[in-house]
Amino acid sequence: MKKTKSLTVFGLITTMAILLSGCVRTTKSGKPYGFVYDYLAKPAQAVMEWIAGFTGSYGWAIIVLTVIVRMFLLPMMVRQMKSSTIQQEKMQLIRPQLNEIQKRQKAAKTPEEQAAVSQAMMSVYKENNISMTGGIGCLPLLIQMPIFAALYAAIRYSPELSHEVFMGIKLGQASWILAVLSFVTYLLQSYLSLLGIPKDQKKQTGAMLLMSPIMILLFTINSPAGLGIYFFIGGLFACLQTLIINLYRPRIRKDVAAEMKDIKTVNVDDLIPKQPETPAQPDEAKTDKRPSNNRNSQRNAGKQNRNHK
């Protein structure tokens, strides 16, 4: 599940990077145009200019805008993380059965047995009401993608924003400080998500949880510092969401244990198609042939003896 989540985040960030790098075009004179600039960057510039009128800085305007967006997404993100945690707890309860099926998968030799093992794996998930994707949803990330695009284009192509200096950092240029801060916050979020899971599961998911922080680091290094502020504040909210789920995890674990009191098992052997038995030949026919052959051989031997005499 963690692997699926990391791959999902990786795919969305890669798509976002492609969109951001190619959706805004410029004329020969350097004037930007295009759908992202006209319908996302310009409104974002107007909103940040309006907020900056109260905060006195575009840097604080980006922080305020990020807090508003993340507060709007917080209930949705917590609900998604709760759904993912429920699936993790269910997976832990059926882990012994999955381990047995995986052993059969390695030992499977015939195509029928391999198909039966795959069917058994899916049946275990289905019978115990477990999602194959682990309750992972992409809606919160999809909602944020237009905001990423708007901030990226607004900061890059707005002279006021790109030349703004916030706490010694130029918002229009990449910042190692913000990249490292974003990496550390998402790394802390990954660590917090490991606190409530068993030790054997930590070994399996620990390395995968590093993927998200590393991808955030690589992306913020190559993005304007204004977008780095968005990622850093977003990472703090991610830590808050994980802490909320960790507080509810004992209750979630109790509810899941009550729901899955009777875990449904699936036998691989029951799913292997039975081969039709070939009819066996009667034993009498075999016994009749043997004496007749012996009698014939004895008669031939007797004739040969008389001829010699």
Q: Are 139 and 77 in contact (CB under 8 A)?
A: no
Q: How many domains in the chain?
A: 1
Given a cut of 70, is residue 73 above it in pLDDT? yes
Q: Which two tokens stand for residue 252?
A: 């979630």
Rounded mean pLDDT, 48-57: 89
Does 207 map to a domain? yes
pLDDT at 133: 64
Does 301 map to a domain? no
- Return the number of other C-beta atoms located less than 10 Å from residue 121's C-beta: 19
Q: Does residue 188 or residue 26 have the better pLDDT? A: 188
Confidence category of residue 150, pLDDT binned at 50, 70, 90: confident
Does 128 map to a domain? yes
Does 149 map to a domain? yes
Report the alpha-carbon distance of residue 112 to residue 114 in Å, rounded. 5
Report the alpha-carbon distance of residue 94 to residue 43 in Å, rounded. 50
pLDDT at 204: 65
- Return the number of other C-beta atoms located less than 10 Å from residue 85's C-beta: 23
Does 285 map to a domain? no
Nearest to 262 by CA among 128, 132, 129, 134: 128
CA 23 to chain centre: 27
Given a cut of 80, is residue 100 above it in pLDDT? yes
Beta bridge partners of 9: none
Q: Where are the alpha helices (DSSP H) in 95-210?
A: 95-107, 111-127, 139-157, 159-162, 176-194, 199-205
Does 6 map to a domain? yes
Given a cut of 90, is residue 278 above it in pLDDT? no
**DSSP codes of every residue in 25-79:** EE-TT--EESHHIIIIIHHHHHHHHHHHHHHSSHHHHHHHHHHHHHHHHHHHHHH
Distances (CA, A) of 94 to 55, 88, 145, 257: 53, 10, 36, 11
Report the alpha-carbon distance of residue 91 to residue 79 in Å, rounded. 19
Element (H, E) at 237: helix 225-259
Q: Which structural domain, as residue segments, surrounds residue 50?
A: 2-271
Does 302 map to a domain? no
Q: Mean pLDDT score of the chain, rounded to an integer?
A: 76
Report the alpha-carbon distance of residue 116 to residue 222 in Å, rounded. 48
Given a cut of 70, is residue 294 above it in pLDDT? no
Report the alpha-carbon distance of residue 21 to residue 18 in Å, rounded. 5
Given a cut of 60, is residue 307 above it in pLDDT? no
Does 276 map to a domain? no
Rounded mean pLDDT, 252-258: 85
